[in-house]
Amino acid sequence: MIFGHISQPNPCRLPAAIETALNFLRTTDFSQLSPGVVEIDGKTIFAQVIDLTTREPHENRPEVHRRYLDIQFLAWGEEKIGIAIDTGNNEVSEELLEQRDIIFYHHSENESFIEMVPGSYAIFFPQDVHRPACNKNEATPIRKIVVKVAVSALN
């Protein structure tokens, strides 16, 4: 996992596909976009613009992806995201790898939380369990952008 703020330059060079995704986040006015999918580089890099309301952590399931990285970016509002390394010990709640590249777990072993503020981003790799859209203090409307980057584009 990599955690940062879009206003800060990267301290080191990241793979080109991730740099492309972060540049999209830096240069897009998300107040002008409707919720939905935005293609950045076909099926290799695309963004999902999502408006939702945060919930209590127990109401959101931890998740992992295998074919895509998630770059979760908060445009406005506040949220916490649960994070943990996928140890292989988490009980699967639902497996939708073929349909949506996602596995949901019932719980996440050794989970901690990061706090997101507008401009924050977190890059989740296939080994990173994450539980997004959790209340920081109370249920809050948020706009988040999830940029999907194909793992195959990192080579």
Domains delineated in the chain:
2-154 (2.60.120.370)
pLDDT at 126: 96
Determine the residue type at 2. I
pLDDT for 9: 83
Q: Report residue 12's pLDDT band, with 50, 70 and 90 as the boundaries.
A: confident
Q: How far apart are CA 4 and CA 119, in angstroms?
A: 8
Half-sphere exposure (Cβ direction) of 81: Cα atoms closer than 13 Å? 26
pTM, to two decimals: 0.95
**Stretch 32-58: mean pLDDT, rounded?**
97
Q: Is the pLDDT of residue 37 over 90?
A: yes
* Partners of residue 146 on adjacent β-strands: 48, 72
Instruction: Report how far residue 51's alpha carbon sits from residue 92's, in angstroms, rounded to the nearest whole number.
Output: 27
Q: Are 75 and 30 in contact (CB under 8 A)?
A: yes
